């Protein structure tokens, strides 16, 4: 790849036309066969499957009907399950029953909200992905050497690998947890049948504590209610998993963009190996100015994407943070107040609770860790800009005073913007970071201890 001097993307005044830069990046992506879709298509396919992304125009009518009808069935079951849990919570006879019901209600409510919210703001999510694609094309236009392109490809491939691995692990882990939880009543019935068949016939336990207006002693009614609970539980997991994968993929991809921008800004003396020292000295000012302008536009595009991401995801992340505190508090209280027995039913329930708490810990940790990493990379832009080699521009006849002044102005502008914290928040109260993670976990266990004291009285 020959040295990129910016002649294709800069006008006579030396200012970048962003549209031309994006178009040049698009053409380069086509030429190198590295479209943005290869990094995001795995997430897009998942969102399309559950009507959280607009279907392609060439999609068959049967496919559209199947997706819409299955979405309607899942959401209806999720709503019915949540409503029955709220009714049960209202008439709960004791604190233990109320806590057991409230903990699963939080889970189903969060999954329902995430699914509905994604379906409602699908166009905004697609626009966000479009802004991220623009960032990618601008980063392609910021390549000056083969080494730069290799670094960009390395950053994006690493981001895609993390996203794909998280998608598989999260889908399998959450689905296993829901199915395991829902199979517990059937497992208990099987264990009772080994002791006394009549006991198993009288057992009508359901996966979740809920109120039912129907007579569960009838086998067919029990089967229908059981199926609704299973589908409702799966629906909440689908909503949560799809949103989590979408959110983390976007954050991981923008981290890759920030990582590459830091790399591109830092001055590399070994660049342009085919140029002589006199040619390098002659082009120093022009190349540096063009690189800084391209980097500034790339940084502006990243900030525009993050502003959109913050606007779209902040309400749901507020619900997520509040819900996580509630779930950890209630489930940990339930685990601490359980009486340890040797029977299989008690051991299985404790194991399900441990899985539940572990998934809540992991979910919030992923959000906070990558949001914190993004903030660190955003602040590092200022240091990388300072190391861009601006001091190497010397006073000679080739470098006019206006060029040197322009370079100094761009350096200061990027550094000032980069010193503002790039943060993602959950509503007006929570900033997603590792500090917030520690605070949320600590608050959850503190509230759990208070509940235990109340129960002891």
DSSP letter for each residue of 190-210: HHHHHH-HHHHHH----SS--
Tens-digit pLDDT profile for residues 183-213: 888 777 666 666 555 555 556 788 888 888 8
Written as six digits, the tokens of 328 are 């950890």
Q: Are 53 and 115 in contact (CB under 8 A)?
A: no
Name the 3-class secondary structure at 1.
coil
pLDDT at 249 over 60: yes
Tens-digit pLDDT profile for residues 106-120: 889 999 999 999 999
Tens-digit pLDDT profile for residues 72-105: 999 999 999 999 999 988 888 877 778 788 888 8
Q: Are 150 and 279 in contact (CB under 8 A)?
A: no
State how far the Cα of 261 lies from the Cα of 266, in Å rounded to an integer.
Answer: 9
Q: Are 54 and 126 in contact (CB under 8 A)?
A: yes
State how far the Cα of 330 lies from the Cα of 350, in Å rounded to an integer.
Answer: 14
State how far the Cα of 403 lies from the Cα of 326, in Å rounded to an integer.
Answer: 58
| Low-confidence winner among 30-34, 336-340, 398-402, 408-412 (lowest mean pLDDT) | 398-402
Q: Are 261 and 381 in contact (CB under 8 A)?
A: yes
How many residues comprise the chain?
Answer: 457
State how far the Cα of 360 lies from the Cα of 384, in Å rounded to an integer.
Answer: 36
Q: Are 89 and 105 in contact (CB under 8 A)?
A: yes
pLDDT value at residue 21? 73
Query: Is residue 275 classed exposed, middle or buried when 0-12, 13-18 and 19+ CB atoms within 10 A define those classes?
Result: middle
Rounded to two decimals, the pTM is 0.88
Instruction: Report how far apart the first and last C-alpha atoms of the chain are (Å, whole number).
Output: 75
pLDDT value at residue 429? 79
């Amino acid at each position: 790849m020959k040295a990129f001097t910016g002649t294709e993307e800069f006008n006579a005044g030396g200012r970048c036309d962003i549209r031309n830069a994006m178009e040049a990046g698009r053409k380069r992506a086509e030429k190198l066969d590295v479209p943005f879709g290869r990094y995001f298509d795995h997430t897009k396919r998942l969102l399309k499957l559950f009507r959280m992304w607009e279907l392609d125009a060439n999609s068959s009518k049967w496919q559209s009907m199947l997706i819409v009808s299955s979405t309607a069935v899942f959401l209806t079951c999720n709503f019915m399950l949540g409503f029955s849990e709220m009714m049960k919570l209202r008439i709960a006879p004791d604190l233990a029953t109320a806590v057991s019901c409230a903990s699963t209600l939080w889970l189903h409510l969060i999954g329902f909200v995430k699914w509905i919210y994604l379906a409602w703001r699908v166009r905004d999510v697609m626009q966000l992905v479009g802004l991220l694609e623009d960032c990618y094309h601008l980063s392609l236009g910021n390549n000056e050497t083969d080494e730069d392109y290799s670094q960009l490809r390395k950053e994006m491939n690493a981001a895609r690998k993390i996203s794909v691995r998280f998608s598989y692990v999260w889908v399998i882990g959450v689905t296993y947890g829901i199915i395991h939880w829902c199979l517990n009543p059937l497992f208990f019935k099987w264990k009772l049948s080994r002791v006394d068949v009549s006991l198993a016939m009288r057992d009508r336990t359901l996966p979740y504590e809920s109120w039912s207006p129907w007579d569960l002693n009838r086998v067919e009614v029990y089967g229908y209610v059981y199926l609704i609970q299973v589908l409702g539980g799966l629906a909440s997991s689908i909503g949560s998993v799809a949103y989590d994968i979408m959110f983390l993929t976007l954050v991981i991809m923008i981290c890759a963009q920030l990582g590459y921008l830091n790399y591109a800004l830092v001055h590399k003396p070994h660049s342009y190996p085919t140029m002589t020292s006199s040619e390098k000295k002659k082009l120093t000012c022009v190349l540096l100015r063009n690189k800084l302008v391209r980097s500034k536009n790339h940084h502006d595009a990243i900030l525009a994407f993050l502003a959109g991401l913050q606007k779209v995801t902040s309400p749901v992340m507020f619900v997520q943070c509040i819900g996580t505190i509630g779930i950890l508090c209630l489930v940990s209280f339930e685990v601490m107040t359980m009486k340890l027995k040797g029977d299989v039913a008690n051991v299985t329930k404790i194991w399900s609770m441990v899985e539940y708490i572990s998934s809540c810990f992991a979910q919030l940790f992923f959000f906070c860790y990558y949001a914190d990493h993004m903030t660190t990379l955003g602040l590092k832009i200022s240091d990388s800009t300072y190391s861009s080699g601006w001091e190497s521009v010397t006073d000679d006849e080739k470098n006019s005073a206006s060029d040197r002044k322009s370079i100094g102005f761009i350096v200061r502008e990027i550094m000032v913007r980069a010193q503002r914290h790039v943060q993602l928040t959950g509503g007006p109260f929570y900033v997603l970071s590792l500090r917030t993670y520690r605070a949320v976990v600590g608050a959850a266990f503190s509230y759990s201890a208070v509940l235990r004291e109340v129960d002891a009285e």
